[in-house]
Amino acid sequence: MAPVAQPAYDFTDHVVVVTGGSRGVGAGIVAAFVASGATVVTCGRNEVDVPGAVFVAADVRQPEQAQLVIDTAVGRFGRLDVLINNVGGSPARSAADVSPRFLEAILALNLMAPFYCAQAAQRVMSGQEGGGSIVNISSVSGLRPSPGASIYGAAKAGLINLTATLAIEWAPTVRVNCVSAGLLETDAGDEHYGGPEGLIRVARTVPLGRMGHPDDVAGACLFLAGTGSGYITGSNLVVHGGGEWPAYLGALNDDGPG
Q: Which of 9, 152, 193, 248 is catalytic?
A: 152
User: Is the distance from CB of 139 to CB of 151 less than 8 angstroms?
Assistant: no
CB atoms within 10 A of CB 104: 13
- What order of strands is seen across the sheet that includes strand 82-85? 53-57, 39-44, 15-19, 82-85, 132-139, 174-181, 236-239
Half-sphere exposure of 100 (CA within 13 A, CB side): 0
Q: Helix 100-107 to helix 150-170 angle, to the nearest 10 degrees?
A: 30
User: Before 172, cis peptide (omega within 30)?
Assistant: yes
Query: Is 152 assigned a catalytic role?
Result: yes
Please name which of 133, 146, 174, 141 lies closest in space to residue 158, comparing C-alpha atoms.
141
24: left (phi over 0), alpha (psi -120 to 50) or beta: left
Contact 136, 118 (CB under 8 A): yes
What is the spatial distance between Cα 127 and Cα 121, in angstroms, rounded to a whole number? 10
**214-to-6, 74, 158, 188, 258 alpha-carbon distances in Å:** 12, 27, 22, 12, 24
| Enzyme catalytic residues | 152
